[in-house]
């Protein structure tokens, strides 16, 4: 249970609590002037509020040609099941508050009729963010360029860095990479395949050594199942049944 009156005291002056349940099951409690926080959960408030412009190639190929702008649309970047997890907001603007780190997006840190609660079922950036990473260092897909092939050169991008990271020593970076039908680079899978390969190589060396020290005669019929004795070992002098 979180007491939001201590978190957003300047905006929502009431004794108000939210149960730690799914967004669609949230219930308002307390006085009638209480306000729900939507979207709710800690990782929603940590959603990056930085903004990025499209990537622009300056002075293409060392000529006086006009700059080329590459669009990175945000459609098609979220997994289909992530899209079904979020629904349009069920609150009116005067019934809810934005999360603490979203307050700067809205006038006086409040939803209004002009700036209502966002429809997160259409926000694929948010949907990608809500698939929590297992590791402290991670990457999130921001957009995909599927139109023009990018050329070598000098690029420019305008950024608005609104999400604070200095308090916990975090870092941020922009990564340009290509993908294949197998997806993006995955260091974990690379390490896993290398580890499995080393294990298989070690087992191969062990079995090779065992075979050199105590070799097994090839084509020995005594190891066939119908020639096994009661103890599971080969029976001497046994022959193949006619």
C-alpha span between 12 and 5 (Å, rounded): 6
C-alpha dihedral sign at 40, 43, 46, 49: negative
Residue 145 CB neighbours (<10 A): 15
Higher pLDDT pick, 74 / 203: 203
**Beta partners for 211?**
none
Answer yes or no: pTM beyond 0.95.
Answer: no
Residue pLDDT, tens place only, 96-108: 888 877 777 788 8
DSSP 234: B
Residue pLDDT, tens place only, 140-186: 888 888 888 888 888 888 888 777 777 778 888 888 888 776 666 77
Q: Name the 3-class secondary structure at 55.
A: strand
DSSP 147: S
């Amino acid at each position: 249970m979180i007491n939001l009156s201590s978190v957003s005291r300047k905006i929502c002056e009431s004794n108000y609590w939210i149960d730690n349940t799914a967004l669609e099951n949230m219930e308002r409690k307390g006085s009638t002037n209480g306000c729900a926080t939507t979207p709710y959960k800690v990782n929603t408030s940590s959603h990056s509020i930085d903004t990025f412009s499209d990537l622009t190639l300056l002075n293409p190929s060392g000529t006086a040609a006009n700059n080329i702008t590459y669009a990175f649309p945000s459609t098609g970047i979220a997994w289909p099941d992530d899209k079904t997890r979020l629904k349009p907001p069920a609150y009116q603007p005067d019934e809810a508050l934005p999360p603490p780190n979203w307050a700067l997006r809205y006038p006086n840190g409040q939803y209004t009729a002009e700036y209502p609660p966002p429809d997160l079922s259409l926000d694929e950036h948010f949907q990608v963010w809500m698939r929590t990473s297992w590791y402290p260092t991670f990457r999130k897909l921001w957009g995909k360029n599927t139109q023009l092939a990018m050329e070598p050169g000098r690029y420019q991008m305008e950024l608005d860095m609104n999400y604070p990271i200095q308090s916990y020593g975090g870092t941020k970076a922009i990564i340009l990479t290509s993908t294949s039908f197998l997806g993006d680079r995955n260091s974990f899978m690379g390490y896993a395949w290398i580890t499995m390969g080393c294990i298989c190589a070690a087992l191969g060396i062990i079995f090779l050594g065992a075979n050199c020290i105590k070799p097994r005669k090839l084509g020995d019929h005594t190891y066939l199942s119908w020639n096994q004795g009661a103890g599971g070992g080969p029976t001497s002098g046994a022959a193949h049944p006619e």
